[in-house]
Chain A
């Protein structure tokens, strides 16, 4: 008889509910007639994400102490659970943004199914406790995202984006796998905490393995110099998919990066601290300078997401108590801002039936007051201006860097923010300071209908962005208790 490990189904509930939604959606694709298929699929996917979020919230409440699951393959702890809540929230908003997207009816259920599957993969990924589950989770959501990127075959550049993402992503995954192999070869262990026990500091092979693991994860977090796929994939994908990738993938990758580094490689701490600091600085520089010359708003936001990875990696590099809080806190407004910003871009795209550039944003703020103000707030938030959580996030990141004694990271962050003012405010300028009449835009097909569902999604993002500025204490409390699950 085969020995079966004990399975804590409750701890797996978030990913299972999303998997269930994904499976049901595949049935919907076959069984539900074409007309109701779109609302039914969207509702089901939304329900899946909401259920995952609720389960994760329960999991967070009921897991004050970290525990290993399923033969030490996964962790049941607050670090993972909080990340799951944020991931599920991002997924739910992404569903709202997706609803109005023009896509063929025959693909709509598959689209949502893949979205739920990607969500399930990420939710699984952040609980990973050994190298196998790490790689499994990574591939799981990556494959779903490769398909999602290329799903809209009518969209110009979508296939190209999918291919680029696939090729570069495969390189990233292979790097991670190779690195994991080296780490396993040296330590003979798979699970993170045993690697920590078995590893020796300054073991050259282990350091190479660590470097490759970091590189593999940095591909997913789209931190420079591992971000090459980001602008093209973000630009080519359907915008709601971009929104989901920009928020959820980055959350998952950063949360897991921090977990892996602190639990599996504490003995090489000073090495990965420096590596993270260098990657952070490169991301800040590359992301911000890259964004300066872009005209396409999705590309600007893609480069801006690279620079935000840089900011969050400052917190990872600091790797102290403030840093842990900073990372988890930062993720919340960041997810909201990027979802919201891409949501607004999606709205404009659907109006114009053309890619959104700075030029054809002209007058948007006056035509759509709510979306305009929302975009304004998201841009200010990304810039780190007050009245948005982005401000507090940056403040915490700087505080973490200072606590570690790396004040030069504050200088790097400050210079990056100065540069970023140009393009974030450039988007505000594009929306408000010129009249549409000046540019004689002709929206395709008359006045487009208002998209209630998308507006709701943007409104949720707006509330979170602004709300996280006021409700700092509760969020920090949650982050603090989540960070207790990690050894550092």
Chain B
């Protein structure tokens, strides 16, 4: 029995209630939310320091019966890989909450309460060890996101929320049906006690839900409008951590519990992942705006990570976990930077209106350059390590997959360099005026920690990839419970 994981979930939720009820002005509510999100990071650091990587298995877990006749319980805990995913979640959420505070979102009370609620839900997804509890958190993520996009989003926000909700609700309800059937077949909903299943239908029920969330071609239809219409920091959360819930679902549920269907459907999923990777990269290359590049690149990255997950070996999994963490940090930083650029120029990030922002704005140029270069997987960067592991892993399924992956890295370089140069270099864009200032100290305080995390991981990627497996079993089963 250990309370830490429970605290990690309950703290932001309780914080949300506190923010919703506290008699403070918006500014102080924002400070309170920022403080709470930083405390959350502190709690995670405590978790990490108590985590015994040598022992492996489920740690910091707590179990309390919820209702016994169907064997459902409040069971939370962390495996090594969940620890990293939770870590990236709390860091990203802290950055985004503070960004919302810095920007001064109106209706702050609701805004900050929802951000904290979202934090709790996402952490819950990554730590729940009961299938029904997992589903509850998975659905709970949608509730704050729906309002965050619908209230603070752009002019097309109503259409965006509708598209987003239609896709995710369809996916998650298919998963609910699969969960009910799977849990009753197994006689328990506790993931640590469940056995495997050979049912293709159940497998597909889970995979479709996770593929929508990730997103994976051809289920990414909600992505363009949702990412473009959301506030920048909500896009960051969506692509940085919410999408990762889908990938985590594949890692934790779809792959370990359905070995036979995974074997049967491996090629299909590898093909879809490759298409996501190449198609996403091409779309990113053609995207007319900064956010477009970042959002399509996250489609491509999701494809890459799925390649790693369905490589079916240890290397692929190690790389996938590392790449999940990397991409969360990279895409959060890029979305926030996109938001900062948009705010400065009063645009929606159209490249046609931007350009030449490097001159006179050294901090902005340095940060965008650094993050951009890391995101295109330049050697010595942590993303390079992640992609290398994934490619090495998927190579064992067939050299062709690795070739596609390598080609995508070239494409990544193309779209990212294009984006950097369109924003920072070339002729000064019509929307870029002298009054568009360099990054302020507050903004640097939000982005620089993310960059530092990335640089730290670049120095020591093995921190994640070498400490992600939950057991010392051979092959990918090191990640199975």
Q: Which of A325, A391, A396, A429 interacts with B150 by CB under 8 Å?
A: A429
CB distance from B286 to the nearest CB of A (A): 31
CA A398 to CA B184, docked complex, whole Å: 10
Q: Of residues B162, B166, B177, which shows the largest number of chain A Cβ atoms within 10 Å of its Cβ?
A: B177
Q: Which of B72, B143, B158, B174 interacts with A433 by CB under 8 Å?
A: B158
CA A432 to CA B69, docked complex, whole Å: 39
Q: Which of B107, B132, B161 interacts with A395 by CB under 8 Å?
A: B132
- Chain A residues lying within 8 Å of B136, measured Cβ to Cβ, are 386-387, 391
Judge whether B460 is part of the interface by a CB distance below 8 angstroms. no
Judge whether A30 is part of the interface by a CB distance below 8 angstroms. no
**Contact between chains at A399 and B151 (CB < 8 Å):** no
Judge whether A402 is part of the interface by a CB distance below 8 angstroms. yes
| Chain B, 27-72, CB within 8 A of any chain A CB | 65-70, 72
**Contact between chains at A380 and B143 (CB < 8 Å):** yes
CA A472 to CA B67, docked complex, whole Å: 6
Q: Taking A325-B69, A421-B165 as contacts, is the C-beta distance between A428 and B146 under 8 angstroms?
A: yes
**Contact between chains at B158 and A385 (CB < 8 Å):** no
| Chain B, 201-219, CB within 8 A of any chain A CB | none
Nearest residue, chain A, Cβ from B141 = A386
**Contact between chains at A473 and B181 (CB < 8 Å):** no
| Chain A, 43-95, CB within 8 A of any chain B CB | none
- Chain B residues lying within 8 Å of A359, measured Cβ to Cβ, are none
Encode B123-140 as 1/0 by CB contact (under 8 A) with A: 000000000100111011
**Contact between chains at B67 and A386 (CB < 8 Å):** no
Judge whether B169 is part of the interface by a CB distance below 8 angstroms. yes
**Contact between chains at B158 and A410 (CB < 8 Å):** no
- Chain A residues lying within 8 Å of B165, measured Cβ to Cβ, are 421, 425
CB distance from A475 to the nearest CB of B (A): 9
CB distance from B170 to the nearest CB of A (A): 6
- Chain B residues lying within 8 Å of A387, measured Cβ to Cβ, are 136, 140, 143
Judge whether A455 is part of the interface by a CB distance below 8 angstroms. no
Judge whether B480 is part of the interface by a CB distance below 8 angstroms. no
Q: Which of B68, B132, B146, B173 interacts with A417 by CB under 8 Å?
A: B173
CB distance from A140 to the nearest CB of B (A): 36
Q: Of residues B147, B174, B180, which shows the largest number of chain A Cβ atoms within 10 Å of its Cβ?
A: B180
- Chain B residues lying within 8 Å of A433, measured Cβ to Cβ, are 150-151, 157-158, 161
Q: Which of B66, B147, B173, B184 interacts with A414 by CB under 8 Å?
A: B173
CB distance from A397 to the nearest CB of B (A): 10
**Contact between chains at A473 and B151 (CB < 8 Å):** no
Q: Which of A366, A414, A425 interacts with B176 by CB under 8 Å?
A: A414
- Chain B residues lying within 8 Å of A391, measured Cβ to Cβ, are 136, 139
Q: Which of A386, A407, A410, A480 interacts with B140 by CB under 8 Å?
A: A386
Judge whether A368 is part of the interface by a CB distance below 8 angstroms. no
CB distance from B245 to the nearest CB of A (A): 14
**Contact between chains at A428 and B180 (CB < 8 Å):** no
Judge whether A486 is part of the interface by a CB distance below 8 angstroms. no
B side interface size, CB within 8 A: 36
**Contact between chains at A402 and B69 (CB < 8 Å):** no
- Chain A residues lying within 8 Å of B181, measured Cβ to Cβ, are 402, 407, 410
Encode A424-435 as 1/0 by CB contact (under 8 A) with B: 010011001100
| Chain B, 4-45, CB within 8 A of any chain A CB | 20
**Contact between chains at A402 and B158 (CB < 8 Å):** no
**Contact between chains at B151 and A395 (CB < 8 Å):** no
- Chain A residues lying within 8 Å of B169, measured Cβ to Cβ, are 417-418, 421
Q: Taking A385-B140, A402-B184, A410-B177 as contacts, is the C-beta distance between A425 and B68 under 8 angstroms?
A: no
Nearest residue, chain A, Cβ from B113 = A373
Judge whether A24 is part of the interface by a CB distance below 8 angstroms. no
**Contact between chains at A473 and B67 (CB < 8 Å):** yes
Nearest residue, chain B, Cβ from A472 = B67
CA A380 to CA B143, docked complex, whole Å: 8
- Chain A residues lying within 8 Å of B173, measured Cβ to Cβ, are 414, 417-418
Nearest residue, chain B, Cβ from A469 = B136
**Contact between chains at A480 and B107 (CB < 8 Å):** no
CB distance from A480 to the nearest CB of B (A): 7
CB distance from A157 to the nearest CB of B (A): 31
Nearest residue, chain B, Cβ from A401 = B180
Q: Taking A399-B184, A473-B68 as contacts, is the C-beta distance between A386 and B135 under 8 angstroms?
A: yes
Nearest residue, chain B, Cβ from A380 = B143
Judge whether A452 is part of the interface by a CB distance below 8 angstroms. no
**Contact between chains at A403 and B184 (CB < 8 Å):** yes
Nearest residue, chain A, Cβ from B109 = A369
- Chain B residues lying within 8 Å of A398, measured Cβ to Cβ, are 176-177, 180
CA A407 to CA B139, docked complex, whole Å: 22
- Chain A residues lying within 8 Å of B65, measured Cβ to Cβ, are 473
Q: Which of A422, A428, A473 interacts with B66 by CB under 8 Å?
A: A473
**Contact between chains at B69 and A425 (CB < 8 Å):** no
Nearest residue, chain A, Cβ from B174 = A414
Judge whether A156 is part of the interface by a CB distance below 8 angstroms. no
Nearest residue, chain B, Cβ from A426 = B162
Judge whether A476 is part of the interface by a CB distance below 8 angstroms. yes
**Contact between chains at B107 and A429 (CB < 8 Å):** no
Encode B277-305 as 1/0 by CB contact (under 8 A) with A: 00000000000000000000000000000
CA A473 to CA B166, docked complex, whole Å: 32
- Chain B residues lying within 8 Å of A425, measured Cβ to Cβ, are 146, 161, 165
- Chain A residues lying within 8 Å of B68, measured Cβ to Cβ, are 473
Judge whether A411 is part of the interface by a CB distance below 8 angstroms. yes
**Contact between chains at A402 and B170 (CB < 8 Å):** no
CA A407 to CA B179, docked complex, whole Å: 12
**Contact between chains at A429 and B161 (CB < 8 Å):** yes
CA A387 to CA B181, docked complex, whole Å: 22
CA A392 to CA B70, docked complex, whole Å: 11
CA A29 to CA B165, docked complex, whole Å: 52
CA A397 to CA B180, docked complex, whole Å: 10
Q: Which of A385, A396, A402, A410 interacts with B139 by CB under 8 Å?
A: A385
Q: Which of B70, B143, B174 interacts with A399 by CB under 8 Å?
A: B70
CB distance from A403 to the nearest CB of B (A): 7
**Contact between chains at A385 and B143 (CB < 8 Å):** yes
- Chain B residues lying within 8 Å of A322, measured Cβ to Cβ, are 69-70
CA A421 to CA B146, docked complex, whole Å: 12
CB distance from B48 to the nearest CB of A (A): 28
Q: Which of B66, B107, B166, B177 interacts with A366 by CB under 8 Å?
A: B107
CB distance from A424 to the nearest CB of B (A): 10
Encode B165-191 as 1/0 by CB contact (under 8 A) with A: 110011001101100110010000000
Nearest residue, chain A, Cβ from B201 = A407
Encode A315-334 as 1/0 by CB contact (under 8 A) with B: 00000001001000000000
Q: Which 6 A-B residue pairs are closest in the complex by CB-CB distance?
A: A386-B136, A472-B67, A433-B150, A398-B180, A421-B169, A414-B173
Q: Tell me the A residues contacting B by CB distance below 8 Å.
A: 322, 325, 366, 373, 380, 385-387, 391-392, 394-396, 398-399, 402-403, 407, 410-411, 414, 417-418, 421-422, 425, 428-429, 432-433, 472-473, 476, 480
17 contacts between A and B (CB under 8 A): A373-B20, A385-B143, A386-B135, A386-B137, A386-B140, A391-B136, A391-B139, A396-B70, A398-B177, A399-B180, A402-B184, A410-B180, A418-B170, A421-B169, A432-B150, A472-B72, A473-B65
Q: Tell me the B residues contacting A by CB distance below 8 Å.
A: 20, 65-70, 72, 107, 132, 135-137, 139-140, 142-143, 146-147, 150-151, 157-158, 161-162, 165-166, 169-170, 173-174, 176-177, 180-181, 184
Given contacts A386-B136, A396-B70, A399-B184, 15 further A-B contacts (CB under 8 A): A322-B70, A380-B143, A385-B140, A385-B142, A385-B143, A395-B132, A410-B180, A414-B174, A414-B176, A425-B146, A425-B161, A428-B147, A433-B161, A473-B65, A473-B68
